[in-house]
Amino acid sequence: MLDSLLSTWTVPVAFAGVAWGILGGALPGISPSITMALLLPLTYGMDPTLAIVMLASTYVGAEYGGSIPAILIRTPGTNAAAATVTDGYAMKQQGRAGEALGISLYSGFLGGLFGLAVLVTLAEPLSNLALAFTPQAYFALGVLGLSIIASLSRESLVKGLIAGVLGLIIATIGTDPVTGLNRFTFDSPELLSGVPPILVMVGLFAVGELLVQTSQPAVQAIPERARIRFPGPAMWRRIALPQLIGSTIGTVEGVLPGGGGAVSSFLAYNEARRWSRRPEQFGHGSPEGIAAPEAANNTVACTALVPMLSLGIPGSNSAAILLGGFLMHGLLPGPMLFVRSAEVVDGLYAGLLAANVAMVIVGYGIMGPCIWLVSRPKPLLMAFIFALVVSGVFAIETSLFHVGVALGFGVFGYVMKYVGVPFLPMVLGVVLGFMVESNYRRALVLSDGDHMIFIQDRLSLVLLSLGCVFVVGSLLSSRRRGATDKDMEPNAEPKE
Partner 1 sequence: MQSTRDLVFGSATLALAIGYYALAVRIPESQLADGVGPQGLPRIYAYLLAGLSLVLVVRSLRMRRREQEAQRSTSDSQRPEPAAKAQLLRPAGVIAIGVAYVVAVPWLGYVVSLAGLIAATSYYLGGGPPRRLVVVALSGATLFWLLFVVLLGIQHPAGFWPSLF
Residues in touch with partner 1 (CB under 8 A): 42, 45, 158-159, 161-162, 165-166, 168-169, 172, 176, 178-181, 183-184, 207, 210-212, 214-215, 377-380, 382-384, 386-388, 390-391, 394-395, 398, 400, 403-404, 407, 410-411, 414-415, 418-421, 436-437, 440-441, 444-445, 448-449, 484, 487-490
Separation CA 381–CA 210 (nearest Å): 10
Neighbours of 418 (CB within 10 A): 14
CB-nearer residue toward partner 1: 274 or 481: 481
Separation CA 254–CA 263 (nearest Å): 10
CB-nearer residue toward partner 1: 6 or 400: 400
Tell me the H-state helices in 331-377: 337-340, 342-365, 367-374
CB of 136 to partner 1, least distance (A): 13
CB-nearer residue toward partner 1: 108 or 167: 167
CA atoms lying within 13 Å on the CB side of residue 494: 36
DSSP bridge partners of 183: 174
- The 8-class DSSP code of residue 217 comes to P
350, 344 contact by CB (below 8 A): no
Separation CA 288–CA 282 (nearest Å): 8
Contacts of residue 10, defined as CB under 8 A and 6 or more positions apart, other chains included, come to: 4, 49, 50, 53, 347, 350, 351, 354
Separation CA 22–CA 355 (nearest Å): 11
CB-nearer residue toward partner 1: 383 or 472: 383
CB of 281 to partner 1, least distance (A): 39
CB of 342 to partner 1, least distance (A): 29
CB-nearer residue toward partner 1: 372 or 384: 384
Separation CA 388–CA 398 (nearest Å): 14
CB of 383 to partner 1, least distance (A): 4
CB of 205 to partner 1, least distance (A): 15
Coil/strand/helix, residue 175 = strand
CB-nearer residue toward partner 1: 192 or 339: 192
